[in-house]
Structure 1
């Protein structure tokens, strides 16, 4: 038994921070990987989401999405979540758990022969991502993949296909909130211990979209690079969306300050 007493810092740091309606776990990358892989292969099911400024703003605007996230372990992603945590609690996160970097680290740490299923993106992209994961992670088995172009009428068929493939980890790449809604809808029928919403991961993995330089990723500023790549598609999210997010965080901070007064 470890007899070490927790440090003063550890005792004061809560296990999660609430940014608006979303409870975001305060975990380092090793801690998060350990928690997730504890569910593989026989643990109780766990849903995982990544919260960047865009996702947090969606939850603030949409109570249905906020309620959906209550059923997920939510991990922090990027500078927006860091700003929110620091402003509201005075302390940020142990590290940036950007999903596009976190998932490869999770797969690299997975036990040998961990089975992984990919769901989402265009047919050629998900196929290339599956091939790439198989080449770069010899310890895992890509047990199946399916593109993200289907209707709710296809859900039963999709669940049957996933369960037949018997994955330990399901990666769903459709962007939020669509991927989280889908995971929530399918989970009761799925026999999968770990399901994660992974956004544009398959596009990056397949080489369809270029990653930002490492220094921008480490600083939580990958959004700047993405904005420069796709200004028309991402312009609203990364201009007006960021301003609205910061205004909402500022409002939460003022509300908390008045409550303490």
Structure 2
């Protein structure tokens, strides 16, 4: 696999951004401020150099979970956390006086990352129902000719099976592991398995496999670009997502306001 070309930080602003990214703390969650291009470059450099990173995407729901559950907040402290959606943007602007360069929602970011990956980059999928992850694997292979989908496994297994799951992933020799189980389950699993995995990137991707397989319809691009995809998803699944997007949003905004009043959070 070819390495990502290295440039001096002095002559390339994106390189400086990649090497020492600014960050915003929203409560207990530290979210890096990277443009889409810089975030992709950083992850490709991680693959090329065989460094290892856990990656998470933080939306309002995930940040609220971390505020409520110290164990989840502690887990996220070991991840490179990228911003996802309008909730993270609001939190950053209120607490730090600055937003994020781009909305890095995982469902758009991961395909963009795969598009830029060198030919032969190996991808493993973990999560979702058996028929969905298999269909998603086929779609990834069809949509990204440069990617070798080297294996997949559904997300229905017991805790006692985790050593075998890790062994199966390592046997496939992936460069990128995508874990689609929703948060906080996917981040907890990545964290438990990480020291037993030989993979540069382990990324929690939520409902990505459902979207990729065509099981769930994506929001129009305008809503995605403006961080309002949650509105479309709420209208699609009001029963399942109603609490998250009504009382959850109110609680999140209230906690952000309290942090601001107490002078906590921010840079």
TM-score (norm: length of structure 2): 0.91
Partner of 2:243: 236
Matched position secondary structure for 1:38:
helix
Partner of 1:144: 151
Structure 2 matches for 1:245-260, cutoff 5 A? 245-256=252-263
Q: Deviations over 1:183-224 (max 9, x none)?
A: 000011100010000000000000000000011111100000
Partner of 1:203: 210
Note closer, same or farther for the CA distance 1:137–1:61 as it changes in structure 2 (3 Å cut). Answer: same
Alpha carbons 2:124, 2:177 under 8 Å: kept: yes
Is 1:182 the counterpart of 2:189? The answer is yes
Whole-angstrom CA distance in 1 between matches of 2:164 and 2:130: 17
Q: Tell me the number of residue pairs that the alignment of Structure 1 and Structure 2 aligns.
A: 252
Say what the alpha-carbon RMSD is for the aligned residues: 1.6
Runs of 4+ in 1 over 3 A off after TM superposition: 1-6
Matched position secondary structure for 2:263:
helix
Note closer, same or farther for the CA distance 1:2–1:190 as it changes in structure 2 (3 Å cut). Answer: closer
Matched position secondary structure for 1:40:
helix
TM-score (norm: length of structure 1): 0.94
Whole-angstrom CA distance in 2 between matches of 1:214 and 1:241: 24
Whole-angstrom CA distance in 1 between matches of 2:91 and 2:9: 34
Q: Deviations over 1:69-126 (max 9, x none)?
A: 0000000000000000000111100000000000000000111100000000000000
Give the gaps of 5 or more residues in structure 2: 1-7
CA offset at residue 42 of structure 1? 4.0
Matched position secondary structure for 2:78:
coil
Whole-angstrom CA distance in 2 between matches of 1:195 and 1:151: 20
Structure 2 matches for 1:106-117, cutoff 5 A? 106-117=113-124
Matched position secondary structure for 2:215:
coil
Partner of 1:159: 166
Is 1:170 the counterpart of 2:177? The answer is yes
Give the gaps of 5 or more residues in structure 1: none
CA offset at residue 41 of structure 1? 4.3
